[in-house]
Each structure stands twice: as C-alpha cells, then as structure tokens.
Amino acid sequence: MKPNVSLCLAIISFASVSLGQEEGGLKKKVHRTPVIASSAPVTEAEAFATFQRIAGLMKSVAHINVKPTPIHGKPTAPATKAEIVAELTHFYQAAEPSFTNTPRRIHVELGRVIAKSPAQKKQLIFLIGKGFVGNYGPLATGATTSVTPTEFGDSLGFFLTQICECTNTSSTKWTPYLRTGD
C-alpha cells in the first residue's frame, strides 16, 4: 500500500469509533468512557492533544514531520479560533511538499469571513481558498472566539479530508476516469 493511501486509512480509523469486538464467540470487556455531549469550548489541552495525535499519524504513515505548537496559556483555557487556524496553517505548510495533487481553488466569500486580527483573516482566506477550511464553517463564519467539540471535529475532518485528497496519488487501476483506451 502506498504511504499516502495509508494516511487516509489511518485518519479514517482514527476518527471512527470502536463499538466492541468479538473473538472466538466471547465478548471482550472493554472499558468505555461515556460520551457526554458538551457545548463547552474546546480547551487548549484538548486541542494540543488532538494535534499531537494527528502529527503522529502524519509522521508514521506519510513521513510528514510536523510538531504542534505547544500550549502558551492555561491548559484549561478555551482554545481560540486564531490558535486553531494558525495550527491548521502550520500543518498545511508541513504537508504541502508531499502534495501530489493541486488543490482546486475555491471562491472565498470575503464578506462572511469573521476574524479578530488581519493575520488570522489572511490565514483563513488562504485556507478557504485552498479548500482546507469550509467557506461557511465555524472557523470562517463563527461569531465566537472559540469552538465547541463538534465544531472542532468538523473543522478537523474537513481539513484532514483535503490533506488526504492532496497527498493521495490516484491509480488508473482504481480510478476508472483516469483509464485511457480501455
């Protein structure tokens, strides 16, 4: 299997939830922490831990070396959209040399982009234009300075999907529209 395809598979397996396993007809006891729906903002520690896991997957599967930015404030403080956007930009820049496909340019609705600083707005416009952040996603249009776990997960999923798309080399064997003269 090619490393880039493996990255896609690793990210998908990372994002999926295991509901249980059976082995030889006997159920294994698995300690499960109950999932609690929360509207509280994602903390800096949670965001950093998530970015560390993604960095580890990118290194082991696609050989892309990237280190997440360490926590600056209190770990229990909410992670700001500016910090998340800066980290996504950092991950994009680390992965860009591995791109085998050019991301399709997306029209950016400049009037809808909400950012606290010009630097954050510039990063958002760049990531939206490359297709790594949704034009109407919580990072681009959210009025608050932080994101909920659901919004954070959606934004990461959107970003990682585009990373997989750009680093995956299409195969004529599995992609019929690439076949010529069949």
Read off the pLDDT band of 18 (50, 70, 90). very low
| Domain boundaries, given as residue ranges, for the chain | 40-170
Residue 1 has pLDDT above 50, yes or no: no
Q: Which two tokens stand for residue 32?
A: 């499960």
* pLDDT tens, residue by residue, 83-130: 999 999 999 999 999 998 888 888 999 999 999 999 999 999 999 999
Is the pLDDT higher at 182 or at 106?
A: 106
Q: How many CB atoms lie within 10 A of CB 14?
A: 13
Nearest residue to 128 via CA among 120, 47, 144: 120
Decide: pTM greater than 0.85.
no
Q: What is the pLDDT of residue 12?
A: 56
Question: Tens digit of pLDDT for each residue in 141-150?
Answer: 988 999 999 9
pLDDT tens track for 24-75: 455 677 777 777 777 889 999 999 999 999 999 889 877 889 999 888 778 8
Closest to 92 in 3D by CA, of 173, 159, 181: 159
